[in-house]
Amino acid sequence: MGGFGRKAYEFLSELGLGPRNPGCFVNGAWRGSGPVIAEVMEASIEDYEEGLRACANAAKIWMQIPAPKRGEIVRQIGEALRTKLYYLGRLVSLEMGKILPEGIGEVQEIIDMCDYAVGLSRQLNGSIIPSERPNHMMLEVWNPLGIVGVITAFNFPCAVLGWNACIALVCGNCVVWKGAPTTPLITIAMTEIVAQVLEKNNLPAAIFTSFCGGAEIGEAIARDTRIPLVSFTGSSKLLLTVLLLYLELSYIKGVESATVVMCIIIVGLLVQQNVHKRFGKCLLELSGNNAIIVMDDADIQLAMRSVLFAAVGTAGQRCTTCRRLLLHESVYQTVVDQLIQVYKQVNIGDPLEKGTLLGPLHTPISKENFVKGIEVIKAQGGKILVGGSVIDSEGNFVQPTIVEIAPSAQVVKEELFGPVLYVMKFQTLNEAIEINNSVPQGLSSSIFTRKPEIIFKWIGAHGSDCGIVNVNIPTNGAEIGGAFGGEKATGGGREAGSDSWKQYMRRST
């Protein structure tokens, strides 16, 4: 890796990383026979086949270990991660681009998931059901699936792994993980820590198998009949690239722009189709297009802080980022004016430096997509109130942006993965809910109000149609104790807490 010897990168050696790193962990050994990308040798299909054979054999052992003892292994993984918390958080910040507190917070989330999974390992309860037959009883028992495939995206390379792997492991499953191609060092560092725990306990290393690779590895996981469940978190930058291409074509050829809506789920559909063709199960966590509603009775200052955090955090690259701000007409101008002033004061810079609030976008392609997205916004009548430009400096830095636009604009229906916030006004609660629910996605949402009657409608059957429905807090920052996921084009998957564990097991009656 270029510059590996610099003092600022000395911490990488604490994570077992060197200047050149094999990119797949197969049957207890690091290897890689594919091309070199950023000094990480990617996995080949041959590596994948060897890894899956070893993983399938390890599954026979792992699923027979009592669940509480599996929980003890996950507890040890959590403890090992705690000892490397700062180093891992710094690596997340360095490789992904989010600010250091967010990087550390993400690693803490997988540690918290380990703690949660330890308790869960003693609560994988079945049921005793009354039988119609005399002197009989009916049992409902939960058994492991065998192997769970986890395909994660660049924006949360640790947390999403934790939501899936911690639960899958205590449920008795082996894990096959393909990290994002642009965050391979995180994949390697995390795997190294897990591998050390397995080795310490004389367990097969193939219980946790990982690959750094591209689409061919992801496709292999989706098609592999040895993997009953695949969890896929989509990369929205690819979806946006396809979307922009369709939008450009629509302007050139006069095609109705509404036809581009389906582009947002193209990658998830491909994964889902490949898994379902072999009668496998899928957990899809795709894009979000999350709205915050500010009612006329809201605590404006509380709402302002929440909007800033939700719209600018992680440079707008969270699936739960606030992308639409719906303001009651009576507070519209007050909130917009204050937000513009706050946006102008956002400290943009090196994500590793203290005081930085907005780091870079993840890749040069992300920056290009931001520029193209702004062009589309302007073409559809959007008015840039603040920001809207790239920053002329080294790195993929862009200005946090506020856009005044009609809720009916086609571009509002899609997810532009960057710090772009659409503001729009409404008159009634019903109108606000209708706007909130008008997009294809259904991940997260929030409303700011003091009125109980509004709150109960918002969280009820005629309220938000999202999987996450918040009140007086931002759209981002989901807690691990609840099931994380969304409806509609977000995919319908549920990970982390509540009864999500049942998806990682098979029910026997």
Residues in the chain: 509
CB-based burial label for 270 (10 Å; 0-12, 13-18, 19+): middle
Residues paired with 174 in a beta bridge: 147
CA dihedral sign, ordered 20, 24, 30, 31: negative
Cα separations in angstroms, 351 against 24, 218, 358: 28, 30, 7
CB-based burial label for 206 (10 Å; 0-12, 13-18, 19+): buried
Query: How far apart are the C-alpha atoms of 136 and 130, rounded to whole Å?
Result: 8
Query: How far apart are the C-alpha atoms of 476 and 320, rounded to whole Å?
Result: 5
Query: How far apart are the C-alpha atoms of 167 and 495, rounded to whole Å?
Result: 9
Question: Which two three-digit tokens encode residue 479?
Answer: 């807690």
Query: How far apart are the C-alpha atoms of 282 and 276, rounded to whole Å?
Result: 8
Residues paired with 128 in a beta bridge: 139
Cα 250 from chain centroid (whole Å): 30
DSSP 269-310: HHHHHHHHHTT-EEEEE----EEEEE-TTS-HHHHHHHHHHH
CB 39 within 8 A of CB 3: no
Give yes or no: 285 in active site: yes
First to last CA, the chain: 53
Side-chain-facing half-sphere of 68: CA atoms under 13 Å:
3
DSSP SS3 for 109: helix
Question: Which two three-digit tokens encode residue 283?
Answer: 């957990």
Work out whether strand 441-442 and strand 487-488 pair parallel, antiparallel, or are unpaired. Answer: antiparallel
Catalytic residue chosen out of the listed positions 109, 285, 414, 415: 285
Cα separations in angstroms, 68 against 65, 73, 124, 243, 276: 8, 9, 10, 47, 32
DSSP code for 390: B
DSSP SS3 for 34: coil
Sequence-distant (6+) residues with CB within 8 A of 41 are: 20, 21, 22, 23, 31, 32, 33, 34, 35, 212
CA-closest candidate to residue 16, choices 201, 213, 194: 194
User: Which residues are catalytic, by number?
Assistant: 285
